[in-house]
Structure 1
Amino acid sequence: MRRCGHQALGIRRALYTTNQTITKTFQPTDEQKVRGLILNHALTKVNQLGWTPAAIEQAATDLNYPPTTVLAYNGMPLIKHFMFDALNKTSIDQLHEFDTPIDRIRCLCRVRLRQTQPYIRHWHDAFLQMMEPKYELAAASWFFTLATRMWEMSGDQSLQIDWDRKRAVLADVYVATELYMCEDTSADFGDTWKYLDEAIEHMEDNARGMNRTPDLRLCDVGNEPASGGHSSE
């Protein structure tokens, strides 16, 4: 996990320097609907072709559209599509059954991580693309928006200063857990869920410590919480 962790530092650093939240709503045009269809189908090509233009072109061909219908010079159009689609699917109908906001946050994190799970063996490649300077802040805003959505759904009633801190800390916890998952070889990602539980337990302490300079080396395996079956190489 060293490679994934160190190369994602920029995204995690950006979580502390942006407070942008994506709230746009719009009615898609026919062109956008076609684009969405192609990108949805391209997700089925990721495990074979990765987060690449080739996956998008193959999807367009499968659906009888010209390969260049969705112009892509890298995998970012597909990564962005996945991030927004996963955001919209991050919800739980039974959230009222959980006693506290933290319990709801833990559940929502699991729901979101399960959406990345089918692509996890290629997800470090997605992180590398999101880490490119021209995409870094946008990628950070996607994770920040996810954290905002989770806190809102949890019913948290924090004051504004605590709200901003909690969103940044939760986004950082989520990114760290997703990076951990990239290298987890335990059955059904059991070590990832243990890592998440431990991170959530300490999240409020982390939020109180946000007035200190955050240690952005958290993805170094030597600094990860201990976990039995996790492979670091």
Structure 2
Amino acid sequence: MAETQSGRDTEVEKRARQQRSLLDAALRHVPFDGWSWTAIDAGARDLALAPGEAHRVFPGGPQELVRVFSSAADAQMLETLEGLDFGAMKIREKVAAGVRARLDAVAAHREAVRRGVTFFALPQNAAVGLACLYRTVDAIWYAAGDKATDYNFYTKRALLAGVYSSTLLFWLNDKSEEFAATWAFLDRRIGEVLNVAGRLGKTVGAAMSLPDRLLATLTTARRGVSRRGRGPLRSARR
């Protein structure tokens, strides 16, 4: 059993290496051919792979290629964040560091990322884009130490998805030195979102407590009516 599992692990690792190798080769063509089979096949030719080998490595085609690219960027982001002293940072600083590390991870492939925005805009690729975005913001929040399990879990990820997406679009067109304008934009967006999150948290928290308060009120009212109503009813029976 152990040998079988070890064999499976070896196959998984082997395929991961093959995918990463073909991804790196295809990335040279993505800026020109987009996230497409054309780019994948061109990368396969660069690696002198046998005909049809690219389809075996990426049976899911361009969608699988871009998922592997996004996952690799997430992994690089987390590796960067592990080297930071998060204990001494405020939550907004942790989130900003996460977004910045994620963009730094793909900085060498900015044109490929730009083509990715177009790729995800197509209806048939929207679900893949949302899945990649969710995994990225989820990884950032966990790295920042988020342990939320209530409605805040989804609220935080939805808000960060907006911050990350808008910052990414700004970054794609940023010509400032070392993306200084992007990081300033990111700080502003995080400040705005945290203010919204604070107000939203109070509103949602109040809304979540309404059922309990309403139940308590109705229970009290019911008891009062019951106590007041017993006298007349008994009198009527007499």
Give TM-score, length-normalised by structure 1: 0.69
Task: Identify the match of residue 102 of structure 1 among 88, 92, 96.
Answer: 92
Does the C-alpha gap of structure 1 residues 158 and 47 become closer, same or farther in structure 2, counting only changes over 3 Å? same
Task: Identify the match of residue 163 of structure 1 among 150, 153, 170.
Answer: 153
CA distance in 2, matches of 1:196, 1:136: 24
Larger Rg: 2
Q: Name the aligned partner's letter for residue 113 of structure 1.
A: L
Q: Name the aligned partner's letter for residue 177 of structure 1.
A: T
Offset at residue 191 of structure 1 (A): 1.3
Instruction: Determine the structure 2 residue equivalent to 1:88.
Output: 75
CA distance in 2, matches of 1:159, 1:77: 30
- The answer to which structure has the higher helix fraction is 2
Give TM-score, length-normalised by structure 2: 0.68
Q: Which has the higher contact order (CA 8 A, sep 6+)?
A: 1
Check whether the contact 1:147–1:167 (CA below 8 A) recurs between aligned residues: yes
Q: How many residues align?
A: 187
Instruction: Determine the structure 2 residue equivalent to 1:221.
Output: none
Q: Name the aligned partner's letter for residue 194 of structure 2.
A: E
Q: Could you tell which deviates more after superposition, 142-151 or 123-132?
A: 123-132
Offset at residue 171 of structure 1 (A): 1.2
What is the CA deviation profile of residues 150-200 of structure 1, one whole-angstrom value per residue up to 9, with x for unaligned ones? 111111344511121011100111011101112222222221111111111
Does the C-alpha gap of structure 1 residues 52 and 95 become closer, same or farther in structure 2, counting only changes over 3 Å? farther
RMSD: 2.7
- Residue 64, structure 1, aligned to residue 64, structure 2: no
CA distance in 2, matches of 1:127, 1:139: 9
What is the CA deviation profile of residues 13-59 of structure 1, one whole-angstrom value per residue up to 9, with x for unaligned ones? xxxxxxxxxxxxx9416445423321232224434544332322222
Check whether the contact 2:26–2:43 (CA below 8 A) recurs between aligned residues: yes
Check whether the contact 2:40–2:54 (CA below 8 A) recurs between aligned residues: yes
Instruction: Determine the structure 1 residue equivalent to 2:113.
Output: 123
Check whether the contact 1:98–1:104 (CA below 8 A) recurs between aligned residues: no
Provide the identity percentage. Answer: 21
Check whether the contact 1:101–1:156 (CA below 8 A) recurs between aligned residues: no
